[in-house]
């Protein structure tokens, strides 16, 4: 058992605590273990420390009921990072048929860092059958005028929202575990975002940045240069959607390298335009009957710990991916490799440690542009600004969207200046990209992250989710694995006693949840992963309530 020493610290139950956090005012912190990201500690039930200022003692793994210590030496903070390496190999390795980390009996973290007031009570309240009568009437009207191609998960029509709660047209309050597929990361109707957008709309709504520019666009690009990984000169372009960002990243990479081939990973989702559908793995429903699609797009095997051969390391999985590039594409033909550091629509797949490091090295060695598609996982959802940071990799280009503007349409491509500037003036752009209102909203989102310490709140949500649902793979035979990071979790459902995907079980869970006022999402290439993308301001009480509803369905399935 590794013994660590550090000075007395304050810890509010957040899942990850940086060394900087450890330098804050003495109080208490609880339940820490080293994670594979050497900069952080993870919540676990094995260790509990209460710093009482009584002396200079050692922190060791012990019973939560008996461990008490206070250690103060500033120089010993280095021990945290040095000791992380020895524990990292086992800290995040998934076990087949078990969650990545099971954290039972953990005292729930608190929201003491949050000061925001919500306009809607943060509790579930179901007064009618769901969908209610007004929703049913709206559905009848919808069917008469809206294309059936725009399908919906639940025909429950929303009227308002605040924080982690949606209110439908019948007055029911629902717990939102989807955030419009990861968009309202900081909560619904954030008052400062709404105020910023309204003020901008009253002043200037459009000029087109490539005709007559404006400051908001520049300020957003400055912020992206600050928060994206990499200590080098960067450039950005702003567009409307994630698919548009990916398309532009393809254009930029091809222009920079002079090559044509583009590679993605199995189970990827990159958008719904013709090009990005070619880059998307799942044929149904996104691609069915929509072709032909552009050529020179290749899908590569990914590290999928739950379904890979037992014991396969990230490095071994990376060599499998690289071998495919060498055999089927040719490294000198490949312009860019697009990766989702945590796959969203693919089923919250988190590749094994070392996987992306090796792929990044290979790309650098062969002049391939390494692109991190952070459209769903980026902008603070996983407890860091970008999920690629958990893998200690610096990409050449990063795409951002969804959570960047609190519900307003905005996306971006950010990356190395030499790559971004390879395109001739006028070669990229668009009428509405980076419009004044959306950029004003984005600036308010960035400010909210800083003022409310929302990266820490995402880590708090992770702690609460592991504490509440981390043992589901042990308790329910239909659950193959629980996995996640920050406010981004997946529960893979299987046929009991096997690892075979169980889409029928997912349908049953979704139906039960939505009928009882909880809105999770589906995911996975086989439609067998329950996806949770809650707001980072969701309370532990709401997490517990939503989990109880989902457990009712899981219990019926085995």
> Which residue spans within 275-346 are E strands per DSSP?
297-300, 334-339
Domain membership flag for residue 459? yes
The residues near 373 (Cβ < 8 Å, ≥ 6 apart) are 242, 246, 268, 270, 338, 339, 340, 399
List the structure tokens of 480: 């193959």
Q: How confident is the model at residue 114, as a pLDDT?
A: 53
Domain stop point among 451, 477, 502: 451
Q: How confident is the model at residue 405, as a pLDDT?
A: 98
List the structure tokens of 393: 């990799």
Strand order in the sheet with 369-373: 234-239, 411-416, 397-400, 369-373, 334-339, 261-265, 297-300
Identify the residue whose tokens are 């049913």: 136
Give the rounded distance of the alpha carbon of 175 from its chain centre.
18
> Which residue spans within 266-342 are E strands per DSSP?
297-300, 334-339
> Is 438 in the same domain as 495?
no
Domain membership flag for residue 12? no
Domain stop point among 451, 472, 487: 451
**Which domain covers residue 30, as residue numbers?**
19-91
Domain stop point among 32, 65, 91: 91
> Is 287 in the same domain as 427?
yes
Q: How confident is the model at residue 293, as a pLDDT?
A: 84
Q: How confident is the model at residue 282, as a pLDDT?
A: 80
> Is 235 in the same domain as 367?
yes
> Is 447 in the same domain as 459?
no
Identify the residue whose tokens are 């339940």: 31
SS3 (DSSP) at 310: coil
Calpha distance 248→246 (Å, rounded): 5
Calpha distance 429→424 (Å, rounded): 11
Instruction: Provide the whole-model pTM.
Output: 0.80
Domain membership flag for residue 115? no
Looking at the structure of the chain, the number of domains it has is 3
Residue 416 near residue 228 (C-beta atoms within 8 A): no
> Is 280 in the same domain as 366?
yes
> Is 205 in the same domain as 319?
yes
Closest CA to 8 of 39, 41, 52: 52
> Is 144 in the same domain as 283?
no
List the structure tokens of 327: 């055999």
Domain membership flag for residue 539? yes
The CA distances from residue 17 to 39, 202, 276, 517, 538, in Å, are 8, 41, 37, 33, 19
Mean pLDDT, 10 residues at a time, over the chain (558 residues)?
31 37 36 33 31 34 28 30 35 37 38 70 97 98 94 95 98 98 98 98 96 98 98 98 97 98 96 90 79 90 96 97 97 98 97 98 98 98 98 98 98 98 93 97 98 98 98 98 98 98 98 98 97 98 98 94
> Is 283 in the same domain as 371?
yes
What proportions of the chain, in percent to the nearest 5, are helix, strand and coil? 35, 15, 50
> Is 445 in the same domain as 461?
no
> Is 445 in the same domain as 476?
no
Torsion sign (Cα): 120, 407, 374, 276? positive
Residue 218 maps to which CATH number?
Answer: 3.40.640.10
> Is 422 in the same domain as 503?
no
Residue 414 near residue 225 (C-beta atoms within 8 A): yes
Domain membership flag for residue 123? no
Domain membership flag for residue 104? no
What is the H or E stretch that residue 436 is in? Answer: helix 436-451
> Is 341 in the same domain as 243?
yes
């Amino acid at each position: 058992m590794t013994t660590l020493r550090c000075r007395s610290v304050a810890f509010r139950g957040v899942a990850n605590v940086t060394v900087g956090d450890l330098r804050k005012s003495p109080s208490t912190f609880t339940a820490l273990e080293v994670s594979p990201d050497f900069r952080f500690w993870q919540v676990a039930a094995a260790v509990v420390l209460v710093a009482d200022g009584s002396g200079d003692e050692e922190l060791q793994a012990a019973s939560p009921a008996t461990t008490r210590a206070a250690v103060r030496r500033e120089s010993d903070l280095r021990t945290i990072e040095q000791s992380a390496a020895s524990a990292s190999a086992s800290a995040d390795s998934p076990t087949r048929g078990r969650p990545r980390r099971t954290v039972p009996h953990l005292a729930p973290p608190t929201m003491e860092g949050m000061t925001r007031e919500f306009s809607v009570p943060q509790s579930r309240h179901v007064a009618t059958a769901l969908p209610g009568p007004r929703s049913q009437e709206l559905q009848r009207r919808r069917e008469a005028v809206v294309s059936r191609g725009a399908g919906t998960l639940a025909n429950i029509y929303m009227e308002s929202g605040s924080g982690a709660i949606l209110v439908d047209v019948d007055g029911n309050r629902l717990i939102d575990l989807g955030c419009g597929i990861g968009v309202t990361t900081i909560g619904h109707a954030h008052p400062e975002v709404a105020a910023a957008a309204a003020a901008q709309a009253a002043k200037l709504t459009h000029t087109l940045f490539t005709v007559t520019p404006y400051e908001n666009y520049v300020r957003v690009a400055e912020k992206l240069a600050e928060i994206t990984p990499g200590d080098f000169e960067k450039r950005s372009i702003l567009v409307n959607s994630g698919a548009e960002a990916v398309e532009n990243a393809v254009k930029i990479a091809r222009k920079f390298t002079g090559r044509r081939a583009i590679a993605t990973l199995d189970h990827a989702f990159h958008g719904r335009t013709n090009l990005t559908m070619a880059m998307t793995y799942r044929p149904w429903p996104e691609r069915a009957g929509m072709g032909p699609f552009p050529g020179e797009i290749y899908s590569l095997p990914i590290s999928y710990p739950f379904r890979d051969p037992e014991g396969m390391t990230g490095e071994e999985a990376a060599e499998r991916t690289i071998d495919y590039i060498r055999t089927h594409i040719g490294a000198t033909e490949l312009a860019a490799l697009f990766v989702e550091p945590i796959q969203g629509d693919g089923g919250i797949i988190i590749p094994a440690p070392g996987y992306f490091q090796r792929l990044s090295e290979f790309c650098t060695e062969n002049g391939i542009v390494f692109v991190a598609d952070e459209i769903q996982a980026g902008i603070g959802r996983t407890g860091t600004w970008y999920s690629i940071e958990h893998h200690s990799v610096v990409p050449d280009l990063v795409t951002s969207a969804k959570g960047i503007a609190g519900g307003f349409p905005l996306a971006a491509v950010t990356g190395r200046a030499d790559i971004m500037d390879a395109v001739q003036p006028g070669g990229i752009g668009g009428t509405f990209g980076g419009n004044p209102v959306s950029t004003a909203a984005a600036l308010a989102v960035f400010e909210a992250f800083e003022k409310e310490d929302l990266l820490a709140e995402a880590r708090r949500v992770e702690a609460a989710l592991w504490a509440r649902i981390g043992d589901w793979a042990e308790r329910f035979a239909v659950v193959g694995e629980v996995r996640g990071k920050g406010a981004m979790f997946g529960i893979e459902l299987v046929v009991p006693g096997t690892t075979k995907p169980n889409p029928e079980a997912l349908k049953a869970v979704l139906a039960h949840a939505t009928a009882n006022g909880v809105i999770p999402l589906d995911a996975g290439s086989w439609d067998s992963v329950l996806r949770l993308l809650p707001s980072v301001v969701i309370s532990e009480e709401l997490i517990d309530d939503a989990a109880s509803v989902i457990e009712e369905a899981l219990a019926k399935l085995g």
